């Protein structure tokens, strides 16, 4: 059976501040993180109907991500990315999500460090 048609919705450069890191100084003060999300879903029905009920509500997903990140205190960027992916996949219309979390200034002489993960509904249901 062929794979379903997948289009993409991008949420780019979502800037948040949170406690993240393993060192004492990282646990005291909020730091910037930049989040990029790509939601893979079949958007054909919404493209034809022009009805919000037929698509992924990316504004609702963004609000959930902001609330989670704002109240978080992760040690690892990898864990934050995993939690963001889980929020995105809570909408069953999202077949796959790519999450990239950047922590600017995490390494001396580097502009940023990023973790990028891809997760699918299939993985979630197994």
List pLDDT tens digits, range 50-83: 999 999 999 999 999 999 999 999 999 999 999 9
The answer to whether residue 122 is catalytic is no
State pTM to two decimals: 0.93
Identify the pLDDT of residue 1: 43
List pLDDT tens digits, range 80-94: 999 999 999 999 999
Q: Which residues pair with 97 in a beta bridge?
A: 39, 119
Which has more confidence, 66 or 125? 66
Catalogue all structural domains in the chain, each as residue range(s) with its CATH number.
7-125 (3.30.1130.10)
d(CA 83, CA 99): 10
Q: How far is CA 72 from CA 5, 52, 67, 83, 89, in A?
A: 35, 30, 9, 10, 19
Using DSSP's 3-state secondary structure scheme, residue 89 falls into helix
């Amino acid at each position: 059976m062929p794979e379903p048609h997948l289009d993409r919705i991008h949420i780019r450069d979502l800037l948040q501040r949170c406690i993240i890191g393993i060192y004492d100084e990282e646990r005291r003060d909020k730091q910037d993180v930049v989040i990029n999300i790509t939601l893979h879903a079949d958007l054909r029905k919404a493209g034809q109907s022009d009805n919000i009920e037929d698509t992924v509500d990316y504004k609702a997903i963004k609000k959930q991500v902001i609330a989670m990140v704002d109240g978080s205190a992760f040690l690892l960027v990898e864990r934050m990315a995993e939690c963001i992916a889980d929020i995105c996949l809570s909408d069953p219309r999202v077949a796959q999500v790519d999450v990239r979390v950047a922590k600017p200034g995490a390494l001396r002489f580097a502009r940023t460090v990023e973790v990028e993960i891809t997760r699918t509904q299939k993985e979630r249901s197994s």
